[in-house]
Structure 1
């Protein structure tokens, strides 16, 4: 079975979509969590490789300084060099490739249709008044926006958050091994950075929500105008649509 089929993109949802954010995300991604956790683990392992890179380079440099150029390729130094070559030419590329493949092949192509199909099934189950009271184009746009947003969140949490957290933990461990004072300085910077994100994120979220709503409304207006163009032309409503 191909890894691209590890998530069933058309698996039906259980029950109606919840009204709170995290419960809604869990509803959207139900059935895909084992693959998402696997992709997050591979991404975190690739992130930990970054700290491992600095550690191995440091070991090679220390061995070079202590052994000298004449005796560098003898004994334990040779083993260290061979290990570094295996790390950089085999282990690191393979792990980064697996991380990239898990996100680009297993997650993103399947999560989007999974969420979209669930939202579409739920929308089709509404009564006729639901469709009479809103733009058809806006309803369709909201489905597309929600599916893309959940897919982006899942992919970026795997691709960025898991990778970055593993890199941070590895960096702190490496700095502690070098000098605890450097690790303290890094921790102070990290706290300030997280505080900055915490200040900006709610403001960005608020404006993004307004932009998405306005975009869906405009899209709905355009789609409904074109869909009902005979009625628009029959009643000479072109100017009204233009102003809207």
Structure 2
């Protein structure tokens, strides 16, 4: 709110003027009525005799217009900017959450939380400025005027205001849990809708339209129940509000008539009292609703903050410095890591990848390959040991500098719903069209890009759905080629490509690699057979380490995988290995696994 204090203070002053002008109108009318009733026997023109109260009446109306419209102009200037700033801050904070955080939340629900929280922040501020503060001014001025008219009349209205505001606040506060639950349910339903729409292809392929509608309807029913609980409570609040308003109207008119009958107030004071009572009732009737809305907004903000503004799992160290890679040497030094306490993935893993080496990672699913890559990218923090690049512990460098110098081509790349050119240029924002074209040609993406109606300006759809899996992979490869980072990680980077295209791209990748340090995760062993070195993972350990020929000659784990591999693909699990061979891993393989020590 720091940059908006001036605007908020100005709007507060303007709203004070607007509310005071509005509530003083009955006072001016009362002065006019007193002037009219006192006109008997006075020969002066009526307008002349009422000049002062008429000028006051006109001035109050003009002031109300000027103050309210000036406040509205400030709102037009500051309102959208406040929402923009809130959205920007929430999104910036969300960006720094870990991969683990995003894997546990619906993307659509997070986006909904940001937009709803930003809107609720606006509504909360506006409720205070344009609802509660003006109503407070109206109540204060009204009570002051009535106390000046007669102490009993002013005391009655003051007591009513205090009781009404107190009870309304108490009732609305009790409604807050209902409003929060309703907001939470709406966010959950929104996330389910986004999840279903994102997977609409699966819905069609499995003919699950009715199932999805039934699945969504269960959550919609929960939303309906939460809504009804909230609205029924609000209805009880409205009963209190209407009964209280009736009590004020009857009580004020009764007191005013009684005082007038006793000659304690004049006709003008009576008219002013009735007018003030009606204005107070109008604002008070809205007060209960505004309290309810206010707590709903506060609930939305609370939910958004609770979901998004959590401590970041992975943060830069206070004295973190930018990483500068000159060679590309990667070292795991006695690394201990687990996703869940008690279920260790790595226990004392140590290995060195020398600068410029091209290293393949193979192993069953769950053997530790993805965790190895994730630790290099600092998606996760090890519980012990160090991951070093060029001798620098990556825990002591900025995450941005690390990611700027490490490229990843994932197995299932996603693209922005932007043009092909923008997606490729994302690797290096200052890349010109020539750089983009060269990268696309090396990734063999130019073939299909040139055949598209808008060429490089063609939009790819949400997450790249307008492209095939192979086309998305080629764009991802082109994006990484444009980035040209000194460390390159390929996670099944060509799995969606046909063999001819894969061979052509692989040749270009070999050229692009140059002296980069390259890590290749593969299930298809033929794609890594030409690399300098292969690390064989099993159960979080490196059980074999060498090049293709050396590992075949050792007749160990890798040789068995290579021999039994059908179509060049590695079985995903040890169970599949057993099913394929017809027996459990033999004694030699178990001995290899049992005796393997972490590779240095």
Report the CA distance between 1:199 and its aligned residue. Answer: 2.7
Give the match for residue 163 of structure 2. Answer: 192
CA distance in 2, matches of 1:158, 1:82: 29
Give the match for residue 150 of structure 1. Answer: 121
Report the CA distance between 1:83 and its aligned residue. Answer: 3.9
Going from structure 1 to structure 2, the CA distance change for 1:57 and 1:176 (only over 3 Å counts) comes to same
Going from structure 1 to structure 2, the CA distance change for 1:80 and 1:215 (only over 3 Å counts) comes to closer
Going from structure 1 to structure 2, the CA distance change for 1:197 and 1:135 (only over 3 Å counts) comes to same
Equivalence map 1:1-244=2 (5 Å): 29-68=1-40, 70-73=43-46, 77-88=50-61, 90-103=62-75, 105-231=76-202, 239=211, 242-244=214-216
CA distance in 2, matches of 1:147, 1:74: 53
CA distance in 1, matches of 2:43, 2:21: 31
Question: If each structure's helix is expressed as a fraction of its own residues, which one has the higher value?
Answer: 1
Going from structure 1 to structure 2, the CA distance change for 1:222 and 1:75 (only over 3 Å counts) comes to closer
TM-score using structure 1 length: 0.78
Size of the aligned set, in residue pairs, is 214
Going from structure 1 to structure 2, the CA distance change for 1:189 and 1:151 (only over 3 Å counts) comes to same
Give the match for residue 4 of structure 1. Answer: none
Report the CA distance between 1:139 and its aligned residue. Answer: 0.6
**1:43–1:159: 8 Å Cα contact kept in structure 2?**
yes
Report the CA distance between 1:113 and its aligned residue. Answer: 1.7
CA distance in 2, matches of 1:64, 1:219: 63
Provide the aligned C-alpha RMSD in A. 2.4
CA distance in 2, matches of 1:41, 1:157: 13
Q: Deviations over 1:84-122 (max 9, x none)?
A: 33433x32321222233333x134322222211111111
Question: If each structure's strand is expressed as a fraction of its own residues, which one has the higher value?
Answer: 2
The structure having more radius of gyration, on CA atoms, is: 2
CA distance in 2, matches of 1:52, 1:206: 39
Structure 1 residue runs of 5 or longer lacking an equivalent are: 1-28
CA distance in 2, matches of 1:101, 1:179: 39
Going from structure 1 to structure 2, the CA distance change for 1:52 and 1:176 (only over 3 Å counts) comes to same
TM-score using structure 2 length: 0.33
Going from structure 1 to structure 2, the CA distance change for 1:173 and 1:162 (only over 3 Å counts) comes to same
Report the CA distance between 1:187 and its aligned residue. Answer: 1.4
Moved more, 179-188 or 78-87: 78-87
SS at match of 2:3: coil
Going from structure 1 to structure 2, the CA distance change for 1:136 and 1:74 (only over 3 Å counts) comes to closer
Going from structure 1 to structure 2, the CA distance change for 1:102 and 1:72 (only over 3 Å counts) comes to farther
CA distance in 2, matches of 1:215, 1:190: 35
CA distance in 2, matches of 1:57, 1:200: 36
Report the CA distance between 1:234 and its aligned residue. Answer: 5.8
Higher RCO, 1 vs 2 (CA within 8 Å, ≥6 residues apart): 1
Report the CA distance between 1:36 and its aligned residue. Answer: 1.3
CA distance in 1, matches of 2:166, 2:14: 28
Q: Deviations over 1:105-162 (max 9, x none)?
A: 1343222222111111111221222111111111111111111111111111111111
